[in-house]
Amino acid sequence: MLAFFDESGQPHPNDSCSRPVVVSVCIRRQDGRAIAGQLYSLKRRMGTPNIELKAANMITRRVFERRSNEWELVESFFDLCRTLPFALFAVVMEHPSRMPYFSEPGREFFLPNQYRYLLQRIHQYATEQGKLVTLLFDGDGPTLLGGTLPVRLSPFCTVLPKASPSPQFVRLHSL
């Protein structure tokens, strides 16, 4: 099973994101190519084959009020998602007013709770499916949390060497 991680914002008082989010989409390896093909086909049909679908850009008042072609893309995307074989897990956080606990001295290598929570859900889902999990991070994964994310994950995962600039691969241990 593949678990794709992505994040929007960081739980840090200086971050501009008002509600940081960490999300993971879990798919079976054998479904990956078909899902990617269906997403590409949707974007091509809508005349936008080369854009990256970002919720921050697509789910806005401006799109809903004035851009019917983008609104149609958003609606079509969610219609497609209802039919695709995947599991979605997400943690939405409040914008903190002070530094998070994992930024304090002596805690530089603590895994933040939002990642722990996602790993617990992914582990439970994978166990129910009888599958091993490979976690994939976008190109920003290795630089998250000041570049310490791979070290913070190491008690839970085996971090594999990067084969390319993106993504970062890790193998989930039994929790």
Q: Look at 18-27, 41-50, 75-84, 165-174 and tell me which has the smallest mean pLDDT.
A: 165-174
Percent of the chain with pLDDT over 90: 15
Question: Where exactly are the structural domains of the chain?
Answer: 1-28+87-175, 30-84
Distances (CA, A) of 22 to 10, 74, 93, 134: 9, 20, 9, 17
CA 121 to chain centre: 13
Using one digit for the tens of pLDDT, what is the confidence trace for 44-66?
888 877 877 777 777 778 877 77
Mean pLDDT of the 64-91 span: 85
Run of H or E including 169: strand 168-172
What's the confidence (pLDDT) of residue 31? 93
What's the confidence (pLDDT) of residue 89? 94
